[in-house]
Homo-oligomer: A and B are copies of this chain.
Amino acid sequence: MVKVGVVGYGTVGQRLADGVVLQKDMELVGVADVEPTLAILALKEKGMPYNLYLATPENKNKFDKYGIPISGSLEDLIKKVDIILDATSAGVGEKNKVLYQRYNKKAIFQGGEKTSVADVFFHGYANYEKGIGKQFLKLTSCNTTGVIRSVDCLDRGIGISNVIMTIVRRIADPGDYHRGLTDALRVDPVPSHQATDLMLVMPHIKATGILIHTPVTHGHIITIVATPKRKTTKEEVLELFRAHPRIRVVRIADGFLGNASLFKYARDLGNLRGDMYEIAVFEETVEIFEDQIVYAINVPQEAVVTPENIDGIRASMEMQKDRLEAVNMTNKYLKIGGN
């Protein structure tokens, strides 16, 4: 049993903890945070299924006020685990790294950290082998994770030489009050970080991307123009996507009209927190146009990185040496791909 700690119990950290708990070959030792946020209050109301460690001892009285039991300090947590999933705000992970090094523990950082924080920029499906045995991994961001799943899928099946993305991005998560956009689309300069990140993880592919922020909360939609290395067909592309456990091919004609449909569907499935691990490809957007592959995907930003983080544990801890063996173990415990 690999002992795991989750540092940062926010939108991503909560979901990483939930995902680790489902792995029968891992043990969640606890989670750490700094303030009694709503996520922590919910943990309390649920009866503390996860032990909570406090990264800010000076805030202990704030937690006492709510009667929230604290199991120790951040360092206490670090000492007890084999590996940390660091899901703190951008920049904090880099500071925490000093602690992880002090106790010679492994750690996985999220997409918001600088790439230099880690030994390898990791994606479970695309470059699992590079993460094996490494002390520090950095995961791709939610958007990049989703894009790479689909591009890696096509690349392994057909061969891809370059991709052009239009990333229609959700501006906030449900419940966010600290960021938002109202009746406005925002454009970023090209290339977007998703493109440069993709090239770091998949250096044999060239990529560019335009990012457009939109006032929604339920998932990013990304259109992709991928240039294959050989001729292909819509049917081949769809078959490859369908065979990928972390990709759902959905049909607009069935009612999957956009990101909000997929959010609703995940809730209707009874998924914990109404989350979905899979990206979706809208079948009716797949087209071979002048020898380029065109398609649109939906990326559920809150939970999409959970599987790849768990893949990262498997790689870093050398739990599986084989890529497919590893991701399939993750998928099995997360109940992904059985649909």
24 contacts between A and B (CB under 8 A): A37-B255, A38-B265, A46-B269, A46-B270, A161-B290, A168-B185, A172-B182, A174-B183, A174-B260, A174-B264, A175-B264, A175-B265, A176-B182, A177-B258, A177-B261, A180-B181, A183-B217, A187-B285, A188-B284, A190-B285, A208-B287, A208-B294, A267-B274, A274-B274
B221 touches A260 (CB 8 A): no
* A137 on interface, CB distance cutoff 8 Å: no
Given A176-B182, A257-B186, A294-B210, A273 and B284 touching (CB < 8 A)?
Answer: no
* A9 and chain B: residue at smallest CB distance: B268
A258 touches B187 (CB 8 A): yes
* A256 on interface, CB distance cutoff 8 Å: yes
A183→B289 CA distance, assembly (Å): 31
Find chain B residues with CB under 8 A from A168 CB: 166, 168, 185, 212, 214
* A203 on interface, CB distance cutoff 8 Å: no
A190→B223 CA distance, assembly (Å): 11
Q: Which 3 A-B pairs have the closest CB atoms?
A: A175-B264, A189-B284, A184-B260
* A61 on interface, CB distance cutoff 8 Å: no
Q: Range of interface residues on chain A? A: 35 or more
Shortest beta-carbon distance, A163 to chain B, in Å?
A: 10
A273 touches B282 (CB 8 A): no
Q: How many copies of the polypeptide does the oligomer hold?
A: 4
For window 267-299 of A, CB contacts with B under 8 Å fall at 267-270, 272-274, 282, 284-287, 289-290, 292, 294, 296
Shortest beta-carbon distance, A246 to chain B, in Å?
A: 16
* A58 on interface, CB distance cutoff 8 Å: no
B191 touches A290 (CB 8 A): no
Q: Digit string of A207-232 for contact with B (CB within 8 Å is 1, else 0)?
A: 01010111111110101010100000
Question: Which of B14, B45, B164, B258 is the one whose CB lies under 8 Å from A225?
Answer: B164
* A115 on interface, CB distance cutoff 8 Å: no
Shortest beta-carbon distance, A247 to chain B, in Å?
A: 16
Question: Which of B210, B215, B284, B290 is the one whose CB lies under 8 Å from A296?
Answer: B210
* A336 on interface, CB distance cutoff 8 Å: no
B174 touches A263 (CB 8 A): yes
Find chain B residues with CB under 8 A from A256 CB: 38
B221 touches A38 (CB 8 A): no
Most buried by B among A164, A168, A182: A182
B183 touches A260 (CB 8 A): yes
Find chain B residues with CB under 8 A from A259 CB: 184-185
A219→B42 CA distance, assembly (Å): 19
Find chain B residues with CB under 8 A from A99 CB: none
* A171 and chain B: residue at smallest CB distance: B182
* A217 and chain B: residue at smallest CB distance: B183
Find chain B residues with CB under 8 A from A46 CB: 269-270
For window 242-259 of A, CB contacts with B under 8 Å fall at 252, 254-259
Identify 16 new A-B residue pairs, CB closer than 8 A, beyond the known A41-B255, A185-B214, A270-B273. A41-B265, A171-B180, A171-B182, A173-B264, A174-B218, A183-B215, A184-B257, A184-B258, A184-B260, A190-B286, A190-B287, A208-B294, A212-B223, A212-B258, A212-B296, A214-B216
